[in-house]
Amino acid sequence: MKTDLLACDGGKPVRAAEFPLWPVFGETEERLLLEALRSGKWGGANRSKLPELEEKIAALHGAKHGITMVNGTLSLTVALKAAGVQPGDEVIMPSYTFIATATSALLFGAIPVFADVEPDTLLLDPERIERLVTPRTKAIVAVHIAGAPADMTRLKAIAVRHGLVLIEDSAQAIGAEWDGKPVGALGDIGSISFQSSKNLTAGEGGMLITNDDKLADAAWSLANVGRVRGGEWYQHERIGWNLRMTEFQAAVLLGQLTRLEEQLRHRERNAELLTQLLEEIEDIGVMRRGLLQTRHAYHLYMFRLAPELADR
């Protein structure tokens, strides 16, 4: 796609070159896809590359368990159900997020309760949470919006104080770190998305990561038609779905993983430059980055326009 972007005053184009292709791929992805094709193991029940992917993604986030799924929306739903959230229970989440955070609860009758976000970070404001806790509250969903880690230190303290499950919506935040530790498994369980726009993508797909053995077993069962690990193939202990990822998606993601670290560094370099330039422009406010946000994934670059601009 060739794009000519004109300067605001209608002058010389500020960009006439093509934008870089996304996603980036090459011989590695092609080789791994052919291996999956020729293996004859294509579905999520005939696993060859999926275990390797789950192990690598879990290790990247300091987690014991990784459970691949069809997408990030349903992986959030599974996280809630694995944590014991029932229809009618309340789930506190930020008011500024993608719709899937809310629909993941609504899909089985849980009730989203929206807490406001900090205006200078757009992240869930810990100060707003405790006043929303009721006897029906069962979980908090922390969204690392745009790849910026939410305040996991304060959110974990609130969750522990009230006996709530803390779930991380890390759909946009693979590779991000809070206080030097990868987000995703800092709470009880975390959800990742591999949708087309994400920093690590297979076109579609999702994954849960956790250090909790019971949550991992429950999530695996819910995504595998109610089966139990180590049980018989037709041993179904609960109502579940078939939410398994395919071997083809796993192949693509294993290839994409080889590019992730350099891409994250590139995003950080670009964001640092953009921040420096935007800080010089009146009526534009860049997002505050806290000292404990030790790595920002920069899935998106967020900034604010002054309200007065709406009247111009």
Mean pLDDT estimate for the chain: 94
- Cα–Cα distance, 290 to 269 (Å, whole number): 17
Q: What is the DSSP letter of 246?
A: P
Domain 27-256 has CATH 3.40.640.10: yes
Which residues are tagged catalytic? Answer: 198
Q: Which residues of the chain have pLDDT under 50?
A: 1-6
List alpha helices for 195-309, DSSP H.
Answer: 213-223, 247-278
- Residue 14's pLDDT is 75
For 37-58, write each residue's pLDDT tens digit.
Answer: 999 999 988 889 999 999 999 9
pTM of the model: 0.92
Nearest to 145 by CA among 110, 163, 119, 179: 119
